[in-house]
Amino acid sequence: MLQIIAAVVLAGIGGTLANSLAVWQVVGADFLALALSPGRNGVAIAVAAALPVILPRVQGLWGWLFALVVLAVVPSLLARYLFGSGAPWETLLLFNGIYALAACLIYGAIAGRRGL
């Protein structure tokens, strides 16, 4: 159980770091402000908590693809409708797709397909 919790937390934070790096490189935003934001990391960890729910229930590659989509779409919806981002959908989905890919890779490396 502790391994799953650690995997979720590290996936969320690692995904945020990857996202922040991409935003910094493309948009020129302040990397440290993005990467160290407690709010961004909290949302990223909360969204990454979907991984141990999805992966044991959806088999094989489909589980990882579904998780990747969920982890890209949910933060994009939150950014647009909760946090008021005016960025185009393509931009939101691209940057949150980077978060999703990094989070899935980190989670998979630590926890594999184990669930809660």
pLDDT average per 10 residues of sequence, the chain (116 residues): 96 98 96 94 98 93 96 97 94 97 97 61
Residue 43 lies inside a defined structural domain of this protein: yes
Parent domain of 78: 2-111
The reported pTM is: 0.92
Distance CA 83, CA 106 (A): 26
User: Which pLDDT score is estimated for 116?
Assistant: 43
Residue 77 lies inside a defined structural domain of this protein: yes
Residue 62: its H or E element = helix 60-77
Residue 116 lies inside a defined structural domain of this protein: no
Q: Decide if 18 contacts 101 (C-beta within 8 A).
A: yes
User: Which pLDDT score is estimated for 30?
Assistant: 94
Question: Looking at the 3D structure of the chain, how many domains does it have?
Answer: 1
